Every structure is written in structure tokens, then in C-alpha cells.
Amino acid sequence: MTSTSSPLINSQLDLRAPALTQLNRKVAGNWQLLVALILLDSTVLLSGWQIAEIFGNAIDIAENVRHDLASLLPILATQITVLSAAGLYNSGEQGCNYFKLVKALTFFYLLLILVTLFNQPSDLVPWSTFGLSWLLSVSFTCIARFGVDTAIQHLRQKGAVRSSTFVISRLEDREKAAKLITQDSRYNLVGWTDIKSITTDSQTLEATLERICNLNVDEVFVCSWQSIKGKMLLYWKLRNAGITLHILPVELDAIARNLEVKMLGSLPVLQFEQPLIVGSDFFIKRCIDFLCASAFILLAAPLYLVIALAIKLDSPGPIFYKQTRIGLHNKPFKVWKFRTMVVNADKIQKDLEANNEMKDGVLFKIKNDPRITPLGTFLRRYSLDELPQLFNVVLGEMSLVGPRPLPLRDVEKFSEHHFVRHNVMPGITGLWQVSGRSDITDFEQVIALDVSYIESWSLKLDFKILLQTINVIFGKKGAY
């Protein structure tokens, strides 16, 4: 006799069938806070309304109308509904958006005015209480939300009231993803796995999902979503476990400030917002470079003369040092500097290569370089040796801010991905200089800073780097 399986048992074979029905873990973890927030809002809104009626009736005795608690419940329920529709009970930043809170309550009172106007006779709400009730409701609710936000931030700093999160990413994206997630105090990162490990076979994916469930994870962040072969399986497994899934585009971190989410049919599209007039910001940058460099050369002419005279008295040799460096689109040009080394410094460098402190050997940096003259040490410490490069800026070969142009010796050691820095005009100062200068001993860090600057460039960023450069110079940080 053939046994027939129950339809309920067969349904377990379906990808969409969960092992059990349960509440979303994110909601389950926040339901106490959500209930407390609704009760708090209800209390302060009700208090605001009753206080407004007391003082409103004292102002206008002719409209002495008082509502009992039961008659105020529909009004209170409508207020809570409006706040909920505005997203003010969602977890995250929406919950403490005071501007949105004021807009939502103002919308409710405008709606209440319309209802009152169309109600004949107009005895639903006394006119004397409208303004005072709105003012008290907004004030009380904002004060209460501020108190809650402050308390929650305090608890999160101590590790409480956080969502447990798990990251699935490439090894090279792990640090960036972790930094993005942990900078938000809502999240507590409890685990990570390499995305390559779950794309090889389904058993590894199942093991990862089991690990996620055992860690009691509330939310999972996935980088490089397109790399996952079992996307559907991952989605349904997390969905059925009540775990929220996020797609984290870490590669867009540097330029996320220009992104806007649009919908194309049923799919979200990330749109890069463009300025109304394109190209004007770079034109302004070039004008600022030319005007500032020209003005500084004219005003600092006496300083140039003093440094030139000091170099002549300090050691034999020319005042200026001209070196061929690689600039925009890999084109060589002559960089001007005040001489800070002995005349035969280039030849001596070959004997010092073994002492190079840069890990990969692309750049050449050593402390206490014997080639540097006594005056050269002082000039380098305050970056005064770079002043003649303002002539390169005037000639359009360099900018005030940009990736530093490097000598041919360094460029010859470049890997393919290093040449991206030659797609923009080199600068006298840049993120490299304000982020450690010579203290950075890994050229990959230099490239990362250059790429970050290129991706997120703006006039505001240039101005910020210039201000930081002044601070670095006078602080003598990383200069040798």
C-alpha cells in the first residue's frame, strides 16, 4: 500500500516555505521601543490638547468647550496615524527627524481645520484652542523625542539597543563595509564571511546561513550582490528566518553624496545628480589656481629673495632644483623647487636605495637623508622648498590641490592601476600631504587617497585640503 504524504509536509520542500511562522527579527527587537514611543507620543499629544483647551477656554469664554478622554481618542488616533505615515516610527534616522515631525503635526492640524470648517455647526473644535494646541503638541513631542533620542544614544554607546548585523563581501571590501556599518550606532557587527566562499557550492551557502541564524543576526549586509550565484536562495532563506537583507554598494561610498534613488519600473536605480551648469566648477578651480598663485608670487617676492640668498650662503650649487616629473596624461614636465640637497643628490640616491623606507619601493623616502643640506632641513620642514612650484601652477602644469607629480624613477615602478592618478592635473598639496605626508610608508595608501580625492572632488574639498595643509605645515607633521 502506497503512503500518501500530507500536503502540509510536502510544502516544506518549497523554497518559499519557512520552518515556522515568526515575527521579523528587526521588528521583534524594536517592538518594545516602538510601543514605548507610541505611548509617549500619545501622552504628550493628549496633554498638549487638554492644556490648550484649559487656556483656550480662559481666553474665549464664549467657546467654552471641553472634550472628555473618550471624545479625544479619534483625534489622538488620527495624529498617531499621520506620524506613522510620515515614517516617524521607523527605526533609524526617520524616528528623530524633527523637521518631518513638525510637518506631520502641522498637516494634521490643517486637516482638522478643514474638517471643522465643513462641520455645521462648527463645534467640533473651538477656534481658540487651534493655535495653542498646535504649538504645545509640536513642542511637547519634539522635547519628548529629544529625550528618547538622547537616552537611546547613551544606551547604544554602551552596546545596548543595537541590531546584530552580518556582512557578506569580498575580502578587499571587508574593512570599508565594516567601517560604514559600525559608524552607525544602531548596528553591532557580529560576523563576516567572504562572498567567494558562498558562490562555490550550495552547501557552503547553507552553512553560512546556519551560522547567521546561530548568531541571532537581525540584519545582513551584502556587497557585490551580482557576484552571488544563489541570490534567490539567499534571499528566501533570510526572509523566512525573519532577517532583513541590505545591498551595500561600497564602491559608491566616495560619491554617494551625489546619488539619488529613482524607480525604473519595479527596480531601484541609482542616479548621479549633475549640476545645472556642468564644468563651471573646474573652470573656477583653474581661475582660483592662477589668481592665487600669481598673487602669492607677487606678495612673497621678498621671501623668495631671502630663501635664494640663504641657499647660496648655505652650500655650493644652484638656487633652484629642476626635476622631470610625470603630470597630466603621463606627460613629463619640469618641476621647480628650492634646492635642499647637495648637488650630486641624484647619483647618491642609487647608493641609498637599500635604505628606502617605502614598503613597495615605488617611492623613495628615508629619514635623516644625508643628502639634505642644513638649510634644506628647515625648508622641507615648513614646505618652503615647494614655493617655486607656484610658477608651475601659473603655467597650467600643476594645480594648488591634486595628486603629487612623481619622478620618472617612481612612475617606472607603477602597476597598471596606479596610472589613474595621471588622469587629473597634479597639485602642490593633496590628501596624501594632509593625511600623513612622509609618515605613509605604503604606496597603495597613497593611491587610495588619490582615488578618494578624484572621486569626491569639489571646490569645497580643495578649500578644506588647503586649510589642512596650513595646519600640517605649522605642525611639522610627517615632514622630512
Tens digits of per-residue pLDDT, 214-268?
888 889 999 888 877 778 888 888 888 888 899 988 877 666 566 777 888 888 8
Per-residue pLDDT at 10? 47
pLDDT digits (tens, 9 = 90+) for 87-129: 888 765 544 688 888 999 999 888 888 877 776 554 555 666 7
Domain-embedded: residue 301 = yes
Evaluate if residue 17 carries a pLDDT over 50: yes
Mark whether 179 and 74 lie in a shared domain: no
Q: Give percent above pLDDT 90 in the chain.
A: 27
Per-residue pLDDT at 256? 59
Q: Give percent above pLDDT 70 in the chain.
A: 82
Query: Of 157, 184, 201, which residue is a domain's last?
Result: 157
C-alpha cell at 26: 528587526
Q: What is the mean pLDDT of residues 54-76?
A: 65
Mark whether 264 and 153 lie in a shared domain: no
Per-residue pLDDT at 388? 95
pLDDT digits (tens, 9 = 90+) for 189-220: 999 998 887 765 667 778 888 888 888 888 99
Per-residue pLDDT at 424? 92
Domain-embedded: residue 432 = yes
Per-residue pLDDT at 190? 92
Question: Which long-range contacts (C-beta less than 8 Å, at least 24 apart) are formed by 70-76?
Answer: 72/46, 75/49, 75/112, 76/42, 76/45, 76/46, 76/49
pLDDT digits (tens, 9 = 90+) for 307-338: 999 999 988 889 999 999 999 999 999 999 99
**CATH code for the domain in which residue 194 is found:** 3.40.50.11060
Q: What is the mean pLDDT of residues 284-291?
A: 94
Domain-embedded: residue 10 = no
Mark whether 103 and 215 lie in a shared domain: no
Listed in sequence order, the residues at least 6 apart from 179 whose beta carbon sits closer than 8 Å to its beta carbon are none
Q: How far apart are the first and last CA of the chain?
A: 90
Q: What is the mean pLDDT of residues 358-382?
A: 80
Per-residue pLDDT at 167? 93
pTM higher than 0.75: no
Bridge partner residues of 169 (DSSP): 194
Mark whether 152 and 30 lie in a shared domain: yes
Grade residue 176 by pLDDT with cuts at 50, 70 and 90.
confident
Average pLDDT for the chain:
82
Grade residue 359 by pLDDT with cuts at 50, 70 and 90.
low
Q: Cα-Cα-Cα-Cα dihedral of 355, 360, 364, 368, to 10°?
A: -40
Higher pLDDT, 355 or 249: 249
pLDDT digits (tens, 9 = 90+) for 372-417: 898 988 998 888 999 999 999 999 999 999 999 999 988 988 888 8
The total number of structural domains in the chain stands at 3
Pairing of strands 187-194, 163-169: parallel
Higher pLDDT, 240 or 475: 240
Grade residue 367 by pLDDT with cuts at 50, 70 and 90.
confident
Per-residue pLDDT at 302? 94
Per-residue pLDDT at 436? 64
Domain-embedded: residue 245 = yes
Query: Of 240, 272, 304, which residue is a domain's last?
Result: 272
Mark whether 289 and 430 lie in a shared domain: yes
Evaluate if residue 269 carries a pLDDT over 60: yes
Q: What is the mean pLDDT of residues 415-420?
A: 89
Mark whether 262 and 302 lie in a shared domain: no
Domain-embedded: residue 1 = no
Q: Using an 8 Å Cβ cutoff, are 229 and 258 in contact?
A: no
Domain-embedded: residue 6 = no
Question: Which long-range contacts (C-beta less than 8 Å, at least 24 apart) are formed by 286-292?
Answer: 286/396, 286/399, 288/400, 288/459, 289/393, 289/399, 289/400, 290/393, 290/394, 290/396, 292/400
Query: Of 140, 157, 174, which residue is a domain's last?
Result: 157
Distances (CA, A) of 17 to 171, 211, 344: 32, 20, 77
Mark whether 368 and 249 lie in a shared domain: no
Least confident of 70-84, 142-156, 348-362, 443-457: 348-362
What is the 3-class SS of the chain, one letter each residue? CCCCCCHHHHHHHCCCCCCCCCCCHHHHHHHHHHHHHHHHHHHHHHHHHHHHHHHHHHHCHHHCCCCCHHHHHHHHHHHHHHHHHCCCCCCCHHHHCHHHHHHHHHHHHHHHHHHHHCCCCCCCCCHHHHHHHHHHHHHHHHHHHHHHHHHHHHHHHCCCCCEEEEEEECHHHHHHHHHHHHCCCCEEEEEEEEHHHHCCCHHHHHHHHHHHHHCCCCEEEECCHHHCCCHHHHHHHHHHCCCEEEECCHHHHHHHHHEEEEEECCEEEEEECCCCCCCHHHHHHHHHHHHHHHHHHHHCHHHHHHHHHHHHHHCCCCCEEEEEEECHHHCEEEEEEECCECCCHHHHHHHHHHHCCCCCCCCCCCCCCCCECHHHHHHHHCCHHHCCHHHHHHCCCCEEECCCCEEHHHHCCCCHHHHHHHHCCCEEECHHHHCCHHHCCCHHHHHHHHHHHHHCCCHHHHHHHHHHHHHHHHHCCCCC
Domain limits for position 352:
280-475
Per-residue pLDDT at 397? 95
Mark whether 52 and 86 lie in a shared domain: yes
Domain-embedded: residue 18 = no
Q: What is the mean pLDDT of residues 140-147?
A: 91
Grade residue 3 by pLDDT with cuts at 50, 70 and 90.
very low
Mark whether 64 and 177 lie in a shared domain: no
Mark whether 239 and 299 lie in a shared domain: no
Mark whether 284 and 427 lie in a shared domain: yes
Mark whether 421 and 380 lie in a shared domain: yes
Domain-embedded: residue 424 = yes
